[in-house]
């Protein structure tokens, strides 16, 4: 069992606000080198420079980096097995690899085993909270909720809604889907650290009737999240235009039924137009930027610097090639470089911690190292291996050091991971 009162020593880094785009010296960064973070009953209760008295169990991580646990705002549990699949863009990739792999989750044992492996892999990557796609099968969402509950993790998920343009074994229908959603919401939504997300796979795999049902669920309970994909790939955008000729845009398909709201997490958003972007901002929704996936599937280069809405960072595994959010930060920098923009370590880290938490309306609970927040914490080695160690030693100022860390780090840098004060890695 975890000690009731304990203290963690290390280099503490989090944010007090959103850092400005491109600003390397940012007042939004709170860095307390060699400080102690105090934890009581799974929550952070304070921080101090001096060693706490003997009533606190002490864990000494001097010389290591302490960050809030990362928040992956878009990732697919059933796609671990198709990570790194060769040779396709989105629509072919779904047909050839993803849909066949997801079919297996009809089996409850497979769903449970998949959820266990997936959640442990998140924690081993330093991700303590996530917004997750299950499969169309009710049991796959159940398994994720139960696995997250057992680990004390903050998890947002839901059964995937898809009633057309998918193979046998991977389609639901409106009546059955609604019944499954209502049952899962009753059993898991707002239980402990779990929340339900109405999960529309994407516009092409739902009939207009199913989209209307999803919108009605959201309207009936404003505490529900919504997650889906939007404007990821050009062929996908053209397909949606053919399927929904009455809609002004891809995003408008969702807007018309009430799915674009302040708890909506829209993955990708590469091919949104100006009007769509303003609407997302007005509705208070967020875009989950998935740089590794966008590069791997050749989807396009997300325009982050001009985004008027909240942007969080996500792995989108199995389209993405790593659950590690530092790896995804490195990819995000490269995506912006290809656009002629420069992503600071601060904007990247903020999008994976405080920024994501606030966009999810969970800023009181996760995303920072402030008193009152859950002790979801990760301890990182500043460097792994001689190349990274030499780079780290050469860094002259904080941004340079953190940027090199974000560029070179992955799950091998993770020294420890705590969820609600309990050590899980």
Phi, psi of 36 (to 5 degrees): -110, 130
**Could you tell me whether strands 57-68 and 377-380 are parallel, antiparallel, or unpaired per DSSP bridges?**
antiparallel
DSSP-derived secondary structure letter, 20: P
Nearer to ligand GUN, 257 or 416 (CB): 257
Bridge partners, residue 35, by sequence: 10
102 binds Zn ion (CB under 5 A): no
Nearer to ligand GUN, 202 or 309 (CB): 202
Nearer to ligand GUN, 6 or 302 (CB): 302
> CA-CA distance, 61 to 418, in Å (whole number)?
13
The nearest distance, CB 193 to Zn ion, in angstroms, is 22
Q: Is residue 230 within 8 Å of 249, Cβ to Cβ?
A: no
**DSSP state string for 330-369:** HHHHHHHHHTT----HHHHHHHTTHHHHHHTT-TTTSSS-
The nearest distance, CB 235 to ligand GUN, in angstroms, is 11
The nearest distance, CB 316 to Zn ion, in angstroms, is 4
Nearer to Zn ion, 267 or 295 (CB): 267
Q: Count other Cβ atoms within 10 Å, centred on residue 86.
A: 7
Question: Which range binds Zn ion by CB under 5 A, 124-132, 168-176, 238-246, 310-318?
Answer: 310-318
Nearer to Zn ion, 267 or 325 (CB): 267
Q: Give me the count of residues in the chain.
A: 425
The nearest distance, CB 80 to Zn ion, in angstroms, is 13
The nearest distance, CB 10 to Zn ion, in angstroms, is 33
**DSSP state string for 247-293:** SSSHHHHHHHTT--STTEEEEE-TT--HHHHHHHHHHT-EEEE-HHH
The nearest distance, CB 99 to ligand GUN, in angstroms, is 9
Q: Count other Cβ atoms within 10 Å, centred on residue 55.
A: 7
DSSP-derived secondary structure letter, 165: S
Nearer to ligand GUN, 234 or 422 (CB): 234
**DSSP state string for 365-406:** TSSS-STTSB--EEEE-S--HHHHHHHHHH--SHHHHHHHHH
Find which of ligand GUN, Zn ion, none residue 201 binds, CB within 5 to 8 Å per kind: ligand GUN
Binding residues for ligand GUN, rule: CB under 6 A, are 76, 90, 94, 98, 201-202, 229, 232, 293, 316, 319
Closest CA to 204 of 168, 169, 233: 233
The nearest distance, CB 293 to ligand GUN, in angstroms, is 5
Find all residues with CB under 8 Å of 213, minimum gap 6, and list them.
Answer: 161, 174, 177, 178
* Residue closest to ligand GUN when measured from CB atoms: 319
The nearest distance, CB 114 to Zn ion, in angstroms, is 16
Nearer to ligand GUN, 68 or 269 (CB): 269
Find which of Zn ion, ligand GUN, none residue 98 binds, CB within 5 to 8 Å per kind: ligand GUN
Nearer to ligand GUN, 12 or 313 (CB): 313
Residue with tokens 């449970």: 112
How many Cα atoms occupy the beta-carbon half-sphere of 280 within 13 Å?
Answer: 27
> CA-CA distance, 304 to 298, in Å (whole number)?
17
The nearest distance, CB 346 to ligand GUN, in angstroms, is 27
The nearest distance, CB 347 to ligand GUN, in angstroms, is 23
DSSP-derived secondary structure letter, 317: B
72, 102, 172, 316: residue in contact with Zn ion (rule CB under 5 A): 316
Nearer to ligand GUN, 98 or 384 (CB): 98
Nearer to Zn ion, 142 or 316 (CB): 316
Size of the site for Zn ion (CB under 5 A): 2
State the residues that interact with Zn ion by CB under 5 A.
Answer: 267, 316
């Amino acid at each position: 069992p975890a000690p009731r009162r304990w203290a963690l020593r290390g280099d503490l880094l989090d944010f007090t606000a959103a850092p400005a785009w491109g600003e390397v010296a940012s007042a939004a960064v709170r860095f307390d080198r060699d400080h102690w973070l105090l934890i009581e009953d799974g929550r952070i209760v304070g921080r101090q420079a001096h060693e706490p008295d003997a009533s606190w169990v002490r864990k000494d991580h001097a010389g290591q980096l302490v960050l809030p646990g990362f928040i992956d705002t878009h990732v697919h549990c059933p796609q671990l097995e198709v990570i790194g699949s060769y040779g396709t863009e989105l629509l072919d990739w779904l047909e050839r690899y993803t849909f066949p792999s997801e079919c297996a989750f009809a089996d409850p044992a497979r769903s449970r085993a998949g959820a266990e492996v997936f959640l442990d892999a998140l924690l081993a990557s330093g991700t303590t909270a996530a917004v997750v796609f299950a499969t169309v099968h009710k049991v796959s969402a159940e398994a994720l909720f139960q696995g997250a509950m057992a680990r004390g993790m903050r998890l947002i998920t839901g059964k995937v809604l898809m009633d057309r343009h998918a193979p046998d074994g991977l389609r639901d229908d409106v009546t059955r889907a609604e019944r499954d959603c209502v049952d899962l919401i009753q059993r898991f939504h707002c239980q402990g650290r779990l929340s339900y997300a109405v999960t529309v796979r994407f516009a092409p795999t739902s009939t207009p009737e199913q989209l209307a049902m999803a919108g009605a669920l959201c309207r009936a309970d404003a505490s529900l999240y919504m997650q889906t994909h939007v404007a990821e790939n050009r062929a996908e955008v053209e397909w949606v235009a053919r399927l929904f000729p009455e809609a002004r845009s891809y995003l408008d398909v969702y807007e018309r039924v009430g799915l674009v709201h302040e708890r909506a997490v829209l993955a990708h958003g590469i091919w949104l137009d100006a009007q769509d972007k303003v609407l997302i901002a007005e509705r208070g929704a967020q875009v989950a930027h998935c740089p590794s996936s966008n590069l791997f599937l050749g989807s396009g280069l997300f325009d982050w610097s001009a985004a008027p809405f909240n942007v969080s960072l996500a792995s989108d595994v199995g389209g993405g090639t790593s659950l590690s959010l530092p790896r995804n930060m490195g990819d995000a920098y490269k995506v912006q470089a290809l656009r002629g923009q420069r992503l600071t370590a601060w904007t990247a880290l903020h999008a994976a911690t405080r920024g994501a938490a606030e966009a999810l309306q969970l800023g009181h609970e996760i995303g920072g190292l402030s008193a009152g927040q859950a002790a979801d914490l990760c301890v990182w080695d500043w460097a792994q291996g001689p190349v990274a160690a030499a780079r780290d030693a050469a860094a002259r100022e904080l941004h340079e050091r953190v940027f090199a860390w974000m560029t070179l780090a992955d799950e091998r840098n993770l020294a420890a991971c705590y969820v609600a004060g309990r050590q899980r890695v």
